[in-house]
Chain A
């Protein structure tokens, strides 16, 4: 079975459409994708840096004390918003702007609009983060970015969605590959729940329910779907064989689309919300086991027997790391939604472990994999293999250190509270794990430094790959 994503990806200007005489740089293929992608890498470094600073503040609170803008309570929302709207959104939109023209065999509806939205997004996010640092936070998790910067994000997504959606409707390739389904799910409902989450003026518990409805959709059907779309596109190309099963991806996609939007209430399990809100969300969270399994089977099946490629191709190894962490984070989330376990582990560092297995374990390696993939397969440039190896092992070590230390600490806290302890009484117990988390963060940051250096060198001092080497490498890599 040949599938769409196996086709040559060089058809950038569309079948039969002649390029205009001299396209401006801003109209060249992939110019939008590049700006999004490189901005995503920039914000990824920023969010990691801030993460390390907060992590240090959580065991050594005097660190950088005295500057209001660098207080923990202001840095943390910036960490989150840069992570979600800077790194994850921008990076994966870069991948999306790369994938959509190839999957549709159609040039992007407007490269210029794509690039402009990217620059606007950057400045807008910068403004929003400055606002938070200066004390204008809206004060509710995931909606901290103050007006008018928050509404601007919504408008920009509408422009981006219009651009992508127009490309999809004008497409030359009629079949719709699974990555495109995920992209559709990401771009269609976003303006609705985003506006609801950021502009609504409900109070009390209604506010809380809507806050979590919005937030979970933000993680689930915006960031995760764009991430999965990228993996679905990239992995079959990296192993040079079609996806394991299109039926399984069909099941995985539709169950995910059906259950994820119901998950919001699992953030307030046992809280002062109506019982049926909890029950509905807990049921949907446990049902998320189905799409998680589908993803596990599909990528597992595709990756089966690819040891040779794994050993050789760092980019592919990052994809697999992202895949394993995605499945891990989702299974972990399902377990956290079990009401008896949530009673013990809610409010502890266990949530932090889950979050970072999702974002640091799945989001970061996924985008890194795409970047290396892009440099090698699309720009046909040779990046430093050595630095990339170091980068891989540092990142993996950091992720494991982070997740394990926070997981243990969360378990200790939960057990201590059930035995009559309190957050104050566990403060000393948490100390070593908070140190371990900060060290892990530093390790990740060191890897990130190598990564940025490597990308910078590769792009600015290009060494082309011998044209035939890629193809021959791909052929020998396939063992089955």
Chain B
């Protein structure tokens, strides 16, 4: 008798929480074709890119940089230049770096801006910018990552240059067909 007024509360709470759990956790996993398949042409990270990704996580780049282009007016320029991000683009991302803030620019297509084909100038720019962003943009509020080792800077640059780069290859392949 003494549990009588607590038990129903607990039971109803479990049902309410359980329904949200089903809707937001189980259902997206079951709808695997949308969420769990990689985009066409997506390549997995190379070992150095994966290391760079770890540095990206460790140094908290995600707190200032998003990695998603939305189909909205505020992203019009990004959509025009790079297209809208799709679920499959993130297949290999663990953890995800979608981000919630844009103190700095969106980086999901940074590898198509500072392309690998440019060679040394692109790498030098990116590494120089990591070490001292204010040398390139005096107003920048990006922290200076001058404490990273040469190897770490190189891995990080590999990772940044991989972002979205595969999309260009897909385009090239499509044009060649």
| A residues whose Cβ falls under 8 Å from a Cβ of B | 57-59, 61-62, 65-66, 68, 71-74, 76-77, 135-141, 143, 168-169, 171, 174-176, 181, 184-185, 188-189, 192-193, 196, 201-211, 213, 221, 254, 257-258, 261-262, 264-265, 267-268, 270-274, 277, 280-281, 343-344, 346-348, 351-352, 413-414, 417-418, 420, 422-424, 427-428, 431, 434
Contact = CB atoms under 8 A, between A and B. Distances in A.
Nearest to A58: B141
B109 interface: no
Contact of B146 (A66, A168, A211): A66
Contacts of B70: 270-271, 343, 346
Chain B at the A interface: SS class: loop
Interface stretch (B58-66, B110-118, B158-166, B168-176): B58-66
A181 B9 contact: yes
A210 B25 contact: yes
Residue of A77, A169, A174, A346 with most partner-chain B CB within 10 A: A346
Assign chain B's interface to a size class. Answer: 35 or more
Contact of B72 (A184, A257, A270, A351): A270
B85 to A, nearest CB: 5
Contacts of B96: 140, 203-205, 207-208, 211
Chain A at the B interface: SS class: helix
B49 to A, nearest CB: 15
Given A140-B96, A427-B141, A206 B28 contact: yes
A262 to B, nearest CB: 5
Contacts of A138: 57, 95
Given A137-B58, A208-B98, A257-B16, 20 more contacts: A61-B140, A72-B63, A72-B64, A74-B60, A135-B59, A139-B57, A169-B3, A184-B9, A188-B10, A202-B94, A265-B24, A270-B70, A272-B84, A272-B98, A274-B87, A281-B24, A343-B74, A418-B74, A420-B76, A422-B77
B90 A203 contact: yes
A207 B16 contact: no
Contacts of B89: 272
Nearest to A74: B60
Nearest to B72: A343
8 contacts: A175-B5, A204-B87, A205-B96, A206-B35, A272-B86, A272-B90, A280-B23, A424-B137
Nearest to A175: B5
A271 B144 contact: no
Given A66-B146, A343-B72, A262 B140 contact: no
B135 interface: no
Given A168-B6, A265-B24, A61 B142 contact: yes
A209 B23 CA distance: 11
Contacts of A420: 76-77
B25 A196 contact: yes
A277 B28 contact: yes
Interface in B44-64: 54, 56-64
Contact of A347 (B35, B61, B100): B100
A62 B95 CA distance: 29
A343 B73 contact: yes
B134 to A, nearest CB: 7
B23 A262 contact: yes
Contacts of B139: 427-428, 431
A458 B103 CA distance: 43
